[in-house]
Amino acid sequence: MTTKSKRPTPLKKKQISGAEIIYCALEQEGVEYIFGHPGAVLLGLLDLFLQRSKMKHILTRHEQCAAHMAEGYARASGGVGVCLVTSGPGATNLITGITDAYMDSIPIVCLTGQVGTSMIGNDAFQEADIVGMTHTVTKHNYLVKRTEDLAKTLKEAFHIARTGRPGPVLVDLPKDVMLGEASFDYSDEVDIRGYKPRTKGHMRQIQRVAEAIKESKQPVLYVGGGVIHSEAHKELLKLAETANIPVTWTLLGAGAFPSRHELSLGMLGMHGTAYANKAVDECDLLLAVGSRFDDRVTGKLSEFAQKAKIVHIDIDPTAIGKNVSVDIPVVGDARQVLLEVNKLVKKQKRSLWQKRIDRLKDDFPLSFDAPDGSPIKPQEAIVALSEEVGDKAIVTTEVGQHQMWAAQFYQVSFPRQFISSGGLGTMGFGFPAAIGAALARPDKLAIDIAGDGSFQMVLQELATAVQYQIPVKVFILNNYGLGMVRQWQDLFMDRRFREVGMEVDPDYVKLADAYGAKGIHVSDRADLRPAIREMVETPGPVILDVVVDQDELVFPMVPAGGASKNMILQDQRKKKPLKGKLSALPDN
């Protein structure tokens, strides 16, 4: 009689807490920094950051700034930024930052504490339906109901955030799920039904693009943030130089193509260069790569690029044809598509088109007047900063006039050098984003070009910068007001200024000192460049407060609803000031 041999009893996988599963998942994803603010539901997870040293938790002073720091980290590094906040108001305070990341396609993973699963829906203390609230402003979101689902959910969250068209993903973590136990199984593979981003473009469509380039006489490349996300800048440069195509970019596309290149047209749109907008108006082929035809770029849609055949290359199929009718659509990753296009495109000269572009640049240069005895002009402050610092810095901006002057006059040379809030236009974005960028790129200076209005929304984060000795620099163009709104009141409301003056401004030197940082004040142009050098050479956080001309306006400018080819130029304003027309006011 024979007996069957017993199979060895399988070893039971070690059971660990949900908090430890979260920590291990973040560790597997290579997370360096987590930005956040604590709460009682997070105590178990926060304790792990104390016990271990692979990841560093950065304590922010406001949860919105945690999201912006995660954005700044992601935008500067090309990786995924992570923020962690408690339930209720901690989670709701993230919403502006999440929406900013969603509008600009920035990969961040937002972890929010939540009340226990048995309490959800009972109006428990600090309960908020953050999943419901963020449904329309996240790429995807999760409410984890079982500890066993944590690892798989976090793996999917990071995968979704970084692939396809990037974006924010939120994971809501009930208290009992973090306290429960399960085994940690973190698979290398992710298979999400219905989520299969297409990276390679259709070859026939790519051939049509190459044919259109060959046939065109006056092409323009119009590129957005998608070129930077996909690391397609080298392929873009090759295409532009091979086919001799001038390049213009969106605010988020700054850095995709070198500003100083002879084929550079600068930024286009509402406050873009006049020669970029006029070139787009005259072109016979517009090649849009990784951009979404935002209203601030196109102006009046019926008059945008009327003479052009339009190519649109984008990884998001829903973006193609959404705002502008497209002749040749190509769905795919910008880098992958441009690699294939470059294989088919031959060398072309286009000497007549280049002469026309040169003439447009001569006729409509970016310029400003800074006569002796006048206040410091904001444009000259940006030029001085660009010349003194150049490629040593990553620059972030707040939102407003200073943002547009920075986009116009700061010379950008490489991807991820210029970081700004585009689609949402979030005041207070730049300073926390600069903190995130400084941690992502310690080899570079991180400088926030700020307006006094925007900076005052987030200045409490000076404490964060000082506490962790993050050497971020704040370069304030101080016009003692909300400059962009004031500009519209100047131009269209017959200079009836209402609720834009900020005469009660802090003394930024004293403010910096109060937080343990360095403060510098400049109001004389002779002191401007020495002050910039002092800012750069001073270790740790620094505020440089530059008092600029309050009456200086951003030009060129396309009035809201107007055609981009019909820009208001500075000399036109001097000849004939505009009177108030409510129909010309912006939507926001």
Fill in the amino acid letter for 333. Answer: D
Q: Is 59:467 a contact under the CB 8 Å cutoff?
A: yes
Which amino acids are annotated catalytic? Answer: 63, 125-126, 175, 484
Fill in the amino acid letter for 380. Answer: E
Fill in the amino acid letter for 287. Answer: L
Residues in the chain: 588
CA 206 to each of CA 5, 189, 327, 340, 398: distance values in angstroms, whole numbers, following the listed order = 62, 30, 12, 7, 38
List CB contacts of 157: < 8 A, sequence separation 6 or more.
Answer: 109, 140, 142, 169, 171
Give dist(CA 9, CA 175) in Å, integer: 34
117-141 b/e with 16+ CB inside 10 Å = b?
beebeeeeebbbebbebbeebbbbb
278-310 b/e with 16+ CB inside 10 Å = b?
bbbbbbbbbbbbbbbbbbbbbbbeeebbeebbb
Q: By C-alpha distance, which of 381, 346, 373 is closest to 547? A: 381
For the residues of 102-162, what is the DSSP string, one character each? Answer: HHHT--EEEEEEE--GGGTTTT-TT---HHHHTTTTSSEEEE---GGGHHHHHHHHHHHHH
Give dist(CA 42, CA 82) in Å, integer: 15
